[in-house]
Amino acid sequence: MNILEVENLSVRYGAVEAVRGLSLRVAEGEAITLIGPNGAGKSSTLKGILGLVQASGTVRYLGKPLLQREPEVLAAMGLVMVPEKRELFASMAVEDNLLLGAFSRFQRREKGIRKDLEWVYSLFPRLLERRKQLAGTMSGGEQQMLAIGRALMARPRLLLLDEPSLGLAPLIVQEIFRILGELKAQRVTILVVEQNARMALKLADRGYVLEAGELVMEGRGSELLYDPRVIESYLGIRTREAAGG
């Protein structure tokens, strides 16, 4: 079953057409990536899907047109985004940030929320160690983990991530993608927008390549990873590393 179907999505900011006629789909249990260079329109696509910017086209979620656009309503429907800027509550403790992720389901029993907290801590032991620390004093990588953990507390049907690798050291990026791989193994459906094509394509079942607002390629993650055009444009000198796995 398709969780998300996007048809002919366009996003325009005044004279700038950031996304033109984009169509994509995400099936249940899939990890999908949208890669492309700086300014290609990746973030605008995510924002267009969620209605955070004005967009035209059709977005269907769980088979129905997506008309609800308030973040808390979307979260209650299982559509949860980890934003590029993370948007944590800096002066609140790690654990309180996580609990806020579950706010759309406050009516649920405390026990369910505790169980999810344990699940998030099992994925990110660092967050358990730092559960009382103020979010704003965490390192960039830890904050990214917290942003993902908070999104997971909403029990997403579809987890959308906007450039989770942004500004992070290579080792931390590897750790973040290792955890996304773990989530994929647990059948969490993922749509991740990334400039780090190599990591994203290794993770993804399927990928879409966006250039100057238009899709120029799509295929299985493993195929795109070895596609000469992708290698030349996005993987650069890391070709050998990509081939070596």
Ligand X SMILES: Nc1ncnc2c1ncn2[C@@H]1O[C@H](COP(=O)(O)OP(=O)(O)OP(=O)(O)O)[C@@H](O)[C@H]1O
**Nearest alpha-carbon partner for 241 in 202, 209, 206:** 202
Tell me whether residue 86 or residue 126 sits nearer to ligand X (CB atom).
86
Smallest distance from ligand X to CB 58, Å: 19
* Alpha helices, DSSP H, located in the chain: 42-50, 71-76, 94-101, 110-123, 125-129, 140-152, 170-185, 197-203, 221-226, 228-230, 239-244
Smallest distance from ligand X to CB 21, Å: 15
Tell me whether residue 18 or residue 113 sits nearer to ligand X (CB atom).
18
Tell me whether residue 40 or residue 82 sits nearer to ligand X (CB atom).
40
Q: Tell me how many helices (H) and strands (E) the chain has.
A: 11, 10
Q: Report CA Rg, the chain.
A: 18
Do 164 and 194 form a contact (C-beta atoms < 8 A)?
yes
Smallest distance from ligand X to CB 120, Å: 27
Tell me whether residue 37 or residue 78 sits nearer to ligand X (CB atom).
37
Smallest distance from ligand X to CB 53, Å: 7
Q: Does residue 26 sit in helix, strand or coil?
A: strand
Smallest distance from ligand X to CB 170, Å: 18
Interacting residues with ligand X (CB under 6 A): 13, 16, 18, 36, 38-44, 195
Tell me whether residue 33 or residue 43 sits nearer to ligand X (CB atom).
43
